[in-house]
């Protein structure tokens, strides 16, 4: 089974959960019958985050706003914690402290990170329901270099990508460079 198929199965299972939950991702998911004709699903948003990264912590408010605004419009959000560096209790503390409501995938063997070529946190990947990459990169241009932030955001990359998908437009800038902490 391809990683795209596994991610989609995982996505369908997780959409039945109501609050932020931690789910371990591995290769043992059994194949199930899927209804891929669900026209209400626009895309899957994978947010690679790190509980220790200052930039990830700073972006939680923006991420929560985008989740609240777009989850009811067919966008399924997943936080992804890659690697084995963080304990489950530390991850739960991060989720609870910042009141993150979407599902979290623990990608301990970095299969999702490797498939999507994620290397930075925060870094975003939007996939359509077939697993095709629509957008990858930063949330916005607030951080333009490590430790350097703009006073005013001039490009809301993730917001713009979500709006373009929602309105069936071609994403104007489908790949941007994420700035932040390296995935360990």
Tell me what pLDDT residue 6 has: 52
- Domains in the chain, ordered, with CATH? 58-184 (3.40.30.10)
How confident is the prediction for the chain on average, in pLDDT? 84
According to the model, what pLDDT value does residue 176 have? 98
Q: How confident is the model at residue 38 (pLDDT cuts 50, 70, 90)?
A: low
Q: What pLDDT, on the 0 to 100 scale, is given for residue 41?
A: 86
Q: What percent of the chain has pLDDT over 70?
A: 79
User: C-alpha angle 107/113/118, rounded to 5°?
Assistant: 140
Can you give the pLDDT at residue 21?
A: 53
pLDDT at 131: 85
Query: What's the CA angle centered on 134, arms 25 and 150, to 5 degrees?
Result: 95
pLDDT digits (tens, 9 = 90+) for 62-76: 999 999 999 999 999
């Amino acid at each position: 089974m391809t990683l795209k198929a596994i991610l989609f199965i995982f996505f369908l299972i997780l959409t039945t959960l109501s609050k932020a939950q931690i789910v371990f991702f591995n290769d043992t998911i059994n194949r199930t019958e899927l209804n891929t004709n669900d026209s209400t699903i626009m895309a899957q948003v994978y947010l690679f985050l790190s509980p220790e990264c200052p930039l990830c912590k700073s972006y939680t408010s923006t991420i929560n706003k985008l989740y609240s605004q777009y989850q009811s419009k067919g966008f399924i959000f997943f936080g992804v914690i890659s690697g084995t560096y963080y304990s489950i209790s530390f991850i739960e503390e991060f989720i609870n402290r910042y009141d993150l409501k979407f599902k979290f995938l623990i990608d301990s063997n970095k299969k999702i990170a490797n498939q999507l070529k994620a290397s930075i946190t925060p870094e975003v990947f939007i996939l359509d329901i077939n697993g095709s990459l629509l957008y990858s990169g930063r949330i916005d241009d607030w951080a333009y270099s490590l430790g350097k932030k703009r006073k005013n955001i001039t490009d809301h990359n993730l917001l713009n990508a979500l709006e373009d998908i929602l309105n069936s437009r071609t994403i104007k800038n489908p790949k941007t460079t994420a700035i932040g902490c390296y995935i360990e």
